[in-house]
Structure 1
Amino acid sequence: MLQSSRFQVLLASPDEDLRNRTESLLESLDAGVKTLPDGEALLAAVSGLRVGSVVLLDSQIATVGNGQLLAALHETGVAKRSSIAVISHGHSDKTEIPDPAHAQLAYPEQFPAELWLQRLRDGMIDDIVPRNANLLQWSTHLNTLRRGHLLRSEVEHLRETTLAQAEHDRLTGALNREAILSVLFRETDRVQRMGGSLCVILIDIDDFGHWNSQLGIEACDELLRQISSRIGKLLRSYDLLGRLGNDEFLIALPGCSPVNAVMLAERLRMDVFAMPFDLPSTRVMLTSCFAIASSNGRSPVVVLREAEQTMDDARLKGPDTIRSARQSPFLGETRPGIFPGNRDPNLVLW
């Protein structure tokens, strides 16, 4: 049985003698071992494996040699959580005569040592262990497998972190310009193939250059972070927020109609920009213009151009305006910059 306080090993082999001998050796190395008679039983058991476990496969299992079992382990994600090693006769595979009592096993000469070396080079397995390995050899192989898995995990984490940094704006955490445009092309392709709707909302913060000159870059960076955070809280899990420029954001809304996009823009205007933004030395009220465009399966370049033209119309109407493409009346009126006389003296208005 596998024990939670020890590192886990799953051993699949149709050879009962090999299972018993290997289990005894590995348990003396403080491994929790579970032995299984075939590949099917192994696949049924791997779902409970902890990260850093070891999977041992007897080379005499036919589905190991033909690659089916290895492919299944990789498809289920086991190879990312665990190390995989093959127990092989090595070069003796070609000369050893199989025991007639084990007729259900794959003949060793079917799978020569070169096959396992190729599997190792291809990354399908992580190690090859001699069938007659002694205690010292097993200790060495297990340590190598576990160190190798740790190294691969660190490299994968670094790769994912680097990829995330490459796709996201470091200041706000939103997708950067390249990433959000890539998303738009992908979602447009989905709309063209499967139908459905896709809308974008372009957001431009009113007179942000004024705040840069009044408050400084660090304070305005904090404003952008707060804006991105507030917007993100109002989006669905599959909506995407990107930063197009210094004070411009773009929201991609898969499965959203133009009417619902306008409703979301109104909610953004009220829940994001109607509340003051707190800075260390003051509080600031911001406004923003919103431009909405619908994909209809058109090129993202065309849709973005339409959104930008719509934004130009919104800016002409004045701050705090919502404008939807191909719609003549302006949606929403400019909020007057007049607040009650007893307002917070730390509240800066523009």
Structure 2
Amino acid sequence: MANSTQISIEKQGPATLTILPTYRCTAACEQCCFGSNPDIRERLTLEEIVDSIKTAHRNFSSLRHVVFSGGECVMIGDDLFESIRVATELGLGTRIVSNGYWGASKNKSAITAKRLRESGLKEINISTGRDHAKFVSIDAVLNAMTDAVSQGIFGFLTVEKDAEDSAVFNEITADPRFAALNALGESRFRYQINTWMKFNEQHKDRGTSASTKPNSPCSQLFSNLVVTPHKNISACCGLTHEHIPEMRIGSLDTNGLAAAYEAQTKDFMKIWIHVDGPDGIIKKVYGGNPPPELISNDHMCDTCARLHKCDQTRSLVRERYQEFYPDVMFRYEMKNLLDRISQPN
């Protein structure tokens, strides 16, 4: 839903480059947002990953971090360590998101953690929960996190919200290894219960997380630039980004990172989502009384998918966006100005 009107803003750029080198994973969680499983083979080559990092660093002075996720990014082995090293040598912070499968063997856990640290990794996020635990044990997760933190890597543990028949979070917090990690303080280790959302009907309802804020503005857009295993460039790394064609803004083989990012800054729909969030847009175009099925209480990304996939809502956005355009653009430009003022030189 790009608007042809020229939007005049000062040049901006992403703070984070997210590399999804593969959607292959050691797990096959039934509610995985990417449908990851061990049989997927398509992935980015080392050359494509490194070139993406160097290109983003060269084109965006705003870039501060490179995140490697997936799928399971540790499965690409030496290519991950080399990619982290390249980003580190460019002065960029690095983070990986993993399920911690490599913690199943204490020897492999220690070796992997050491190699991650030697490559320059600054932060590790390990995700677990009811679905993950069917494939990766809590023991493996805690081994991997303990070894990574012992190497001086900041650890962040994310536990998906439990269903009525699961108590993964309680199992983790009762383990002495978790207590030892937590005792290190928030400068070295943190944890959270993450919002969960369904991707098919084969699920057990888990209610909503206390931390859920589905009606918030979207901070992902414009601050993150994502490269997928298919060499596509995405505007965000939200849970539903592969389910929303409009979030695909380019390809490494066609327009490239810089042109893809620049083009999206002229897309009023993305600016509006960034300012008001998908929930806010739906409520405005329906005059404050949207059909309840359009608003998700679980996750902002779920509402964003509903916003893009509902024909009636898309029609209303096209009919009414000009009513909201001046106010949205004013707040967007003010936000950009304040962000630039607050950023260190």
Q: TM-score when scaled to structure 1?
A: 0.23
Instruction: Kindly indicate whether structure 1 or structure 2 has the higher relative contact order, using CA contacts under 8 Å at least 6 residues apart.
Output: 2
Q: Which of the two has higher C-alpha Rg?
A: 1
Q: TM-score when scaled to structure 2?
A: 0.24
Higher strand share: 1
